[in-house]
Amino acid sequence: GQNIDQPTEMTATEGAIVQINCTYQTSGFNGLFWYQQHAGEAPTFLSYNVLDGLEEKGRFSSFLSRSKGYSYLLLKELQMKDSASYLCAVSYGQAGTALIFGKGTTLSVSS
Amino acid sequence: GAGVSQSPSNKVTEKGKDVELRCDPISGHTALYWYRQSLGQGLEFLIYFQGNSAPDKSGLPSDRFSAERTGGSVSTLTIQRTQQEDSAVYLCASRLRDRAGEQYFGPGTRLTVT
């Protein structure tokens, strides 16, 4: 079956750096996404990796290793507003339309 | 510009009734997804539409669930004979055809089956 694992919760302090890991096992792979979801709100797109390596976008970076079935989201210079759930998702299958999401990592940033 | 909109925002229904949820994607977005999110659970993929292609229905949990997309724009998700386990937030997302990863989500419909 298809499976995505990510830690349930993480805590960090303002100004710090945090790395949220994601491992996946899927039948086929067409891309990996990271989304941010604040409590009671819809997810918002953060990043998309299809090739191995690091994608940097401001304070957020995402890394992918397809051979290891592994990704991480790196958040730098943490701010209180970064407190949210971070969802890892993989597009798989022949047509690349099927998607599986992890259960999300709840990040709490304290001052 | 306008984002993805969904209606109703909240729906309470009795077990056994049918419900219809609506999604208006961003104009020009040819791809549309429906997801379900239960408390403490991740997003569960339900169905995917891309232009005039046959939809990917692989995520629909039972034959009580169906969806259609008329004119390549508005989509409706129908749940027949609702059960209590159908209670969840139903989210719709759309994207441009050539931006595979970048989905824009609507605010969701919170469905409560009593």
Along chain B (114 residues), what's the average pLDDT of each consecutive run of 10 residues? 90 98 94 90 88 88 95 93 97 84 91 97
pLDDT-derived band at A1 (thresholds 50, 70, 90) equals confident
CB A36 within 8 A of CB A107: no
Strands B10-13 and B109-113: parallel
Residue B24 pLDDT = 96
Q: Which residues of A touch B (CB under 8 A)?
A: 4, 30-31, 33, 41-45, 47-48, 50, 87, 89, 91, 93, 95-104
CB B78 within 8 A of CB B67: yes
Q: Minimal Cα–Cα distance from B101 to chain A, Å?
A: 5
Residue A50 pLDDT = 92
Backbone phi and psi for residue B9, each to the nearest 5 degrees, phi listed first = -80, -30
Query: In Å, what is the CA distance from A26 to each residue of A32, A70, A94, B46?
Result: 11, 12, 11, 17
- The answer to whether B105 contacts A44, with C-beta atoms less than 8 Å apart, is yes
Share of chain A above pLDDT 70, in %: 95
Q: Minimal Cα–Cα distance from A97 to chain B, Å?
A: 7
Chain A residue with minimal CA distance to B101? Answer: A48
Q: Between vectors from CA B68 to CA B64 and to CA B69, what angle results, nearest 5°?
A: 160
The minimal CB distance from A42 to the residues B33, B42, B108 is found for B108
Residue A96 pLDDT = 64
- The Cα B91–Cα A79 span in angstroms is 27
- Using a CB-CB distance cutoff of 8 angstroms, which residues of chain A are in contact with residue B42? 4, 87, 101-104
The minimal CB distance from A97 to the residues B41, B50, B105 is found for B50
Chain B residue with minimal CA distance to A41? Answer: B107
- The answer to whether A100 contacts B45, with C-beta atoms less than 8 Å apart, is yes
- Using a CB-CB distance cutoff of 8 angstroms, which residues of chain B are in contact with residue A7? none
CB B46 within 8 A of CB B60: yes
Instruction: Note the pLDDT tens digit of each residue in A19-51.
Output: 999 999 988 888 999 999 999 899 999 999 999
Residue B51 pLDDT = 85
- The Cα A70–Cα B34 span in angstroms is 26
Residue B47 pLDDT = 93
Residue A94 pLDDT = 64
pLDDT-derived band at A2 (thresholds 50, 70, 90) equals confident
What does chain A come to in residues?
A: 111
In DSSP terms, B79 is beta-bridged to B19, B65
- Residue from A99, A103, A106 whose CB has the most chain B CBs within 10 Å, to mutate: A99
Computed over every residue of chain A, the mean pLDDT equals 93
CB B79 within 8 A of CB B64: yes
Share of chain A above pLDDT 90, in %: 78
pLDDT-derived band at A95 (thresholds 50, 70, 90) equals low
Tokens standing for B62? Answer: 């039972």
Residue B67 pLDDT = 97
Task: Give the count of Cβ contacts less than 8 A between chain A and B.
Answer: 57
